[in-house]
Amino acid sequence: MAGPTTAQRGAGHQEDTPDRPPRPDAQGRRMSRLRLLIVIAAAVLVVGSGAVWALYGSSWLRAEQVRITGVDVLSPAEVEAAAAVPMGAPLISVDTDSIANRLRQKLPRIDSVDVVRSWPHGIGLKVTERKPVLLVKKGAKFIEVDAKGVRFATVDKAPRRVPLLELTPGRSASLHRFGSDRLVREAVRVAGGLPDGVARDTEVVRVTSYDSVSLELTRDREVIWGSGEEGAVKAKVLIALMKAAPKAGHFDVSAPTAPAVSGS
C-alpha cells in the first residue's frame, strides 16, 4: 500500500502545529509602556510628596537639641546662646553657614566651627578655640594673641605658660617700614617656632625691631634671637648650646652659623 504523498505529509504536519498567539502590534506595545511610565511617575510623586512632607511639614525631623563639643574656655551655654539655632524649625531648613558666621562674629575666641545636622532632631557644633601664644599687657588686663597674630580676647588673669609680649620699637625704622602689627606677627612667628622646653621657660618675648627679637627665660636667662628667619635652624642651635652650657645665662643665635654663649 502506498504511503502518503508529500502534499499529504505537509498538510498533516501543518495540522499538528499549534496555533501561535497573535503578536501585539506596535501601538499596543507603546500603550503598555505608557501605562507603566504613568504608574512609575505616580509612585515617585507619592513617595516624593511624602518625603517633602516628612522633611518640612511633620514634627518628626525638627531641631530640638544642640550638642556642643571642643570648648575649653568657652562654656556650652554661651556657645549655644550665640549660635541662636532656630529651635523647632525643620532640620533640613536650618542654615548651618549662618550659624557658623554668627558664632565667629559673636565669639572671637572661636577659630573655626563645624555645624552639622544630627538626624533626627539635633544640631552639632564642633568648636575649635583659638589658643594664645603671646599676651599683650593692657593696664591690669591681658590681651590674648593667637598663632595667626589675631588679638581675640581680653582676660583679667594671664594664662599659665604664655609669654608676655613687650613691643618697644620706639621710633625705629622698622616701626615705620613694617608697622606694629607686622612686628607683633614677627614675635608670634618666633614664639610659635620655639622648642617645647624653651617655650615652657619663656616668660617675655621682646621686640625692638623687625630683626631684633629676644627672649627672657626662667632663671634669669636671655636668648638673642634676631629676626624670625631661619627659626628651625636657630631652635636646633639653641638646644645644642643649652646642652653644652646648661648653666649659661646668655645665648645668641641671631647668626646661627656663628652662635655665642656666655655667663656660664
User: What integer pLDDT is reported at residue 19 of this predicted model?
Assistant: 55
User: What integer pLDDT is reported at residue 61 of this predicted model?
Assistant: 75
User: What integer pLDDT is reported at residue 263 of this predicted model?
Assistant: 86
With a pLDDT cut of 90, the percent of the chain lying above it is: 62
Residue 121: CA count within 13 A, CB half-sphere: 6
Mean pLDDT of the chain: 83
CA pair distance 8, 206, nearest whole angstrom: 121
Residue 160 backbone class (left: φ over 0; alpha: ψ -120 to 50; beta: rest): beta
User: What integer pLDDT is reported at residue 14 of this predicted model?
Assistant: 46
User: What integer pLDDT is reported at residue 46 of this predicted model?
Assistant: 43
User: What integer pLDDT is reported at residue 50 of this predicted model?
Assistant: 41
| Higher local confidence (pLDDT), 4 or 54 | 4
Q: How sure is the predictor about 38, in pLDDT bands with cuts at 50, 70 and 90?
A: low
Q: Is 115 exposed, middle or buried (0-12, 13-18, 19+ CB in 10 A)?
A: buried
CA pair distance 254, 237, nearest whole angstrom: 10
Q: Kindly tell me if the per-residue pLDDT of 66 is higher than 50.
A: yes
Residue 121 phi/psi, 5° resolution?
Answer: -135, 10
Question: Which of 60-69, 172-181, 219-228 has the highest mean predicted lDDT (pLDDT)?
Answer: 219-228
| Higher local confidence (pLDDT), 160 or 4 | 160
CA distances from 210 to 3, 130, 174, 186 (A): 122, 25, 6, 7
Q: Give the type of residue at 196.
A: D
pLDDT in tens, 125-149: 999 999 999 999 999 999 999 999 9
CA pair distance 224, 254, nearest whole angstrom: 6
Q: Kindly tell me if the per-residue pLDDT of 244 is higher than 90.
A: yes
Q: Kindly tell me if the per-residue pLDDT of 47 is higher than 90.
A: no
CA distances from 38 to 46, 52, 82, 155 (A): 12, 21, 50, 68
pLDDT in tens, 146-184: 999 999 999 999 999 999 999 887 665 555 566 778 889
Is the alpha carbon torsion for 79, 83, 89, 95 positive or negative? negative
Q: Kindly tell me if the per-residue pLDDT of 3 is higher than 90.
A: no
Parallel, antiparallel, or unpaired for β 202-209 and 164-167? parallel
Q: What is the pTM of this model?
A: 0.72
